[in-house]
Chain A
Amino acid sequence: MRIVGLILVVILGSVLFYGSLAFPPWGDPASPASSHLSPYYIEKAMEDTSVPNLVTAVLADYRGYDTMFETIVIFAAGIACIVLLRTFKETESGSRLYRHIPTGITLKIDKKGRFPEDSVVFERIDSHWVPHDLIVKTTCRLIVPFIQIFALYVIAHGHHSPGGGFQGGVILGAAMIIYAIAFNLRSAIRRMSERSAVMLSSLGVFIYAGTGALCMLFGLNYLDYSALAGLLGVDPVTARSHGILIVEIGVGIAVMAVIVTLYYNLASAGRHDEGL
């Protein structure tokens, strides 16, 4: 099997190597990919949408349908992960570990015992080895707000610099994941519950699709943001720029919530109890 695979890969690779000789050279300005559609985008995007970042303009305006359905694919992936993994059964052992914070003594409480759930001096810890990690927790506490502010900047400044909804949403989700890793999964779920994560992911898709529907209500095509000019009180070109910002915010919310949902389910195998 190994030999057969190697032979197949070598044959396919050499066919592709041979085919690559017909490709345009690297960085050729006249290559077919750069000579049909993209000059229009580069030369006209500024007049059409007043968005200097051409990637954002093409992403959310010219190819708005594509991006909307990509967002729906991401949303569907989050839902699929919940459907596949989420279980509401208790863990097999049923016993939990609690650490007495002032003394550092760890207690194991069986299923029949009373769990000190709301106690201030006891904290629940994962059943795998959990060290005292003051430095990690403090660093995380300091760094997470800055990550989130940077993520909001990436979303909001996507018109003028590299950035946008997808990137900002991933950074926001990463901030939540770093919090869950440094503390534990339960404290992350206390900050952002599973319910709110799912609600936010559908809210993000709703913002995107709703903006498109709003454009139809004002009498233009689906996702033609210039229809929003009257609503926003600006000229049609600026309205397209603002419409891009609105859908980017929707994309950012959806991506953030889906990343967080995926992490919750994958880290704890769907139990939302103890993770990583």
Chain B
Amino acid sequence: MDALLNILISKANYWLYIILMMIGLYGIMVKKNLVKKIIGLNILQTAVILFFISVGAKEKATIPIIEHGNDTVHAAVSASHYINPLPHVLMLTAIVVAVATLGVALALVIRIHQQYHTLEEEEILKRIQET
């Protein structure tokens, strides 16, 4: 029982992100509406971002900003006191790029709606074949 509880505690974050990722993937595959597909894509993206952030976590460590960094002269900094800054760097840029690419996706959706007056995938395909 204790072993099972340990696994649950140490892996619960990954499971949460896997569930979130699968919700996003389901939305991309099954939903017919293009805006709903984009929402699914964003949920998937959020799951990946949260996964990276949780990989950077360390027990008994604080945020990666060195305390009184400019006051003390070359005080030794131990890596175990600060969480891993690398996932934060990667995800920081990924979030802003996600916003920008979301803008492009919505622009494409607006163009499709101007052209075919619908966002339902099947109707768009029907109208493409008609022309």
Could you list which residues of chain A lie within 8 angstroms of chain B, going by C-beta atoms?
1-2, 5-6, 8-10, 12-13, 16-17, 20-21, 23, 25-29, 31, 33-34, 37-39, 41-43, 45-47, 50-55, 57-59, 63, 66-67, 70, 73-74, 77-78, 80-81, 84-85, 160-162, 164, 166-167, 169-170, 255, 258-259, 262, 265-266, 269-270
Contact = CB atoms under 8 A, between A and B. Distances in A.
Contact of A31 (B7, B13, B55, B103): B55
A25 B10 contact: yes
B69 A9 contact: no
Classify the interface of chain B: helix, strand, loop or mixed.
Answer: helix
Query: Which of A5, A26, A37: most chain B CB closer than 10 A?
Result: A26
Contact of A54 (B14, B21, B85, B92): B85
Contacts of A26: 9-14, 54, 57
Classify the interface of chain A: helix, strand, loop or mixed.
Answer: helix
A41 B22 contact: no
B85 A70 contact: no
A20 B89 contact: no
A70 B11 contact: no
Interface in B99-114: 99-101, 103-104, 106-108, 110-111, 114
A6 B56 CA distance: 31
B87 A73 contact: no
B92 A166 contact: yes
A55 B64 CA distance: 7
Contacts of A67: 93
B39 interface: no
Contacts of A12: 22, 25
Given A66-B93, A78-B100, A53 B110 contact: no
Given A53-B65, A266-B110, A33 B77 contact: no
Query: Which of B96, B104, B106: most chain A CB closer than 10 A?
Result: B96
Contacts of A31: 55
18 contacts: A5-B30, A6-B26, A9-B29, A26-B14, A28-B58, A37-B86, A41-B85, A41-B86, A42-B64, A42-B82, A46-B77, A55-B64, A58-B86, A66-B93, A73-B97, A77-B103, A78-B103, A80-B107
